[in-house]
Each structure stands twice: as C-alpha cells, then as structure tokens.
Chain A
Amino acid sequence: MNREKDLANYALAFFAAVSFLLLIFPSTPLVHSARLLFGYSLYPILEGSRLDYRLRNVPDNVARLVRTDQENLRLKAELAAATLSAGRAAHLEAENERLSDMISLSRDGRWRGSWARVISKSPRDWFGTVFIDKGAEHGIRPHATVLAIAGGRPVLAGRVFEVYPGFSKVMLVTSELSSVICRLRGSGHEGMLEGRGSRSLRLGYLQEKAVPQAGEEIVTSAGGLLFPPGIPVATVSGAGERDVSMNLFNAAAEPAVEPDSLQEVYVVNRDFPTEIRKYSEEAP
C-alpha cells in the first residue's frame, strides 16, 4: 500500500512539474496556433461567430492566415457565381439579338404571318422535318413559307408540310423531298434546288451559260409558286457536273440557315388567288 502511495506521489510530482513548466514557459500561443491550424486543415468550414470563437487567443499572424483563407474561399465562391452570371448574360444577349432580328422582320411589313417555336425533331429525319408549335388553330395553312433568321435577315427554312390543330410539320429545304425553284442572284439563271437529306443541297437544271461562282447566293425565284421571290435559300459551295442526259449543269450548295440551329421560325400567310391556292394545296 505504501509502495502504491509512493508511486502515486512520484507520478503526481512528475506530471505536476511538467504541467507547471508548460504554464511557466510562453507555450500558449504556440499551442493555440498548432491547434487552430491542425483543426482548420481537417475541417476548414468556419463562419461568423464560430470563426471568432476559434480565433480567440491565437497570435495575429496565424489568425490572419486563417482569415485570408476564409476570404479566399468566399471570393472563389463569388467568382464562380459571377462566371455563371456572365455566361447567362452572354446567352441572354445572344437571345436578345436573335429576338431583335425577329421583331424587325415582324415590323418589316413585307409579309404577314406568325412566329412559331420549333418543338420537336425526329432523329430518323434529322435534315428533313421539324415540328412547330403552331397549327390550324393559329391560322397555319399547308405549304406556307417558313422563314428563319440567319445573319440578321430572313432566309428560307422550308415549307409547312402537314398541319394539325395545335402544331405543324415543316419540311426543310434540306429534306430529300424538297425542291425549290431558285435563281442565282448574280446571273439570274434559274435552277431547281433540291435537298439531299444531308447538309448539302444540289442546284440542278442550270443552263450551259450559267456558270455558278462559289459563294454566289441562291434566292427564291418568281417562277416558283409557293415561295415569295428574292428570299435567300442557299449559297453555291462548288462547281457541279454536267448532266449528260439533258445537257444541263448542276452545282453543290449549302443552305442559308443551318437546319440544326432552328429555334424560332416565321410562317408567312400568303393569300394566293383561289385557283392557285387550290392548285398549291393539291401539290405534293
């Protein structure tokens, strides 16, 4: 028993002496700094009063280090939010520009019609058709001209193919079924612009005299019944070949509007004379 008492006394003396030494030497700031840095490196989320609570009795230089890191975290979060806002602003600016162009088209007065949004697209007929959110209930008629905005001006996107009460199906100029009577804006020669089910078009039935130049614009022709004349449709992209059977030429072309960038379109309501309308509605 006495031995145990002695041991306890020795242990008390030893550990009490160590504690006293710790108390006497200026170890407190060192201990608090180590504690804060260790805790902060494991669990760095501290805010407001909790941060102040943890930073009490900590030397200024260490406290400044932690506060700087906190500020850095906050600024990083702000930067991420600002980047997000800037991205959204750029998107809104682009949309605003696009919608401004559309409004200018509506105010132009050349055509009467209505705007429609592209609501669906079939993967099986990617370059062929799109669905728009306007139908017979909105005054859409079969074979109506469908315009889009490209480069700030209206261009031909296609024509209404099928009309349902609340929506319509639009055949794009790139569809394999599409053919539009056009003319070269420079030479004035007419030809038939046909879709090929891809991004490229084919301008056929060109006379020998017509020498299409790369980059030359192709516009709708007055000879075409369905579309108003003078609307840009495509651009010549390369010289074609001679059609041996008919002694005619053709040329490759690219559509004026990218078929996969259509978001809003303008459906033109045209009042054809009754006979022509009857004919056009019977047309395939």
Chain B
Amino acid sequence: MTFLKDAGFFLVLSAAHWWLHWSFPMGGLAPNLLFAAAFSCAVIGGPVRGIALPFFFGLYADVLGAGLAGSWALIFTLMGYAVQVMKRHFDLDNPFSQSAAALVLSLLSLAAYQSAYMTMGGLSPLPLRSMLLEPPISALTVPFVFAAARRACGRPRR
C-alpha cells in the first residue's frame, strides 16, 4: 500500500514538474518540485525509502534535464542520506526547519552539480542565476510539497 502511495505521489509530482517546466520555464527559475519532493520524501521515509525515493526523483530530473545522466540521481541520493543524518539531530517536521534545511541542501546540491560538471570538463547547462535564486525558491516551495507528501505518503518517520 505504501509502495502504491509512493508511486502515485512520484507520478503526480513528476507530471506536475514536467508540465511546469515545459509550459512555463521562466528562464529556468520555475520551482524545482523534484528537489522539494525528494527532500520531503527523505524526511517522511525511513532509511531505505528516504534514499530510494530521492534517487528516483533524481533519475527523473536527469531524464528531464540536459546534463549528465546520473548526476542528479547521485546528488539526490546523497541528499536523502544527509536528510537521514539530519533527522537524528534536528526536528524537520516544522516548516521553518524544513525551509532552512532545504535552503542549505539546495545550495549544496547545485554546487555539487556544478562541481561534477567541472570535474568532467564540460560546461554546466545551469544558468549562474539559478545558483542564487533557486535555493530560496526551493526553500519556499518545500513546506507546501512536504504537506502534500505527508498527506499522500504518511507521517514522518524518525
């Protein structure tokens, strides 16, 4: 049952993200629903589910994006693990802490993505302004997506 709920949430969020970015790209500054969903699932899910779901959201981000296939999957997997560690020390059940954690993790994710590209010797397809604007936008988006994820997938698990 949990698997079906997770799959449903994944499909809905993926479709919403695709539609939003395909129809209203807003110069690459449309809210990153995949990041918010991966973060929310990592908070809600247990050690396996909380890493697996971010991995699949990352995989989907790789399919949608124009970058290296597997890069977002790796970064979201690492983010899921980081959230598992953070959950042991912080209460990520309230919107403020979620936003703060999302702000930091989004910035780190983007930095990791750029680093991965630089390591591979290519030029990142992400515009520089997204490094500045995406973290706050994600921080604002996360509480809403988290509320939807909790409704769909259940209460957070410590």
Contact = CB atoms under 8 A, between A and B. Distances in A.
B144 interface: no
Interface string A53-87: 10011100000000000000000000000000000
Interface size class of B (residues with CB under 8 A): 20 to 34
A57 B47 contact: no
Interface residues of A, number: 29
Interface in A4-22: 4-5, 7-8, 10-12, 15-16, 18-22
Contacts, number: 82
Given A7-B47, A8-B51, A22 B69 contact: yes
A30 B70 CA distance: 12
B70 A21 contact: yes
Contact of A28 (B50, B69, B78): B69
Contact of B81 (A12, A27, A58): A12
Interface stretch (A31-39, A162-170, A243-251, A260-268): A31-39
A39 B70 CA distance: 19
B63 A35 contact: yes
A31 B81 CA distance: 25
Given A23-B68, A57-B66, A16 B78 contact: yes
B46 A39 contact: no
Interface in B23-79: 23, 25, 46-48, 50-52, 55, 58-59, 62-64, 66-71, 73-74, 77-78
A19 B47 contact: no
Contacts of A53: 25
B18 A12 contact: no
Contacts of A8: 47-48, 50-51, 81, 84
Contact of B47 (A11, A16, A27): A11
Given A8-B48, A35-B64, 5 more contacts: A15-B51, A19-B77, A20-B70, A56-B66, A57-B125
Interface of A: 4-5, 7-8, 10-12, 15-16, 18-23, 27-28, 30-32, 34-35, 39, 43, 50, 53, 56-58
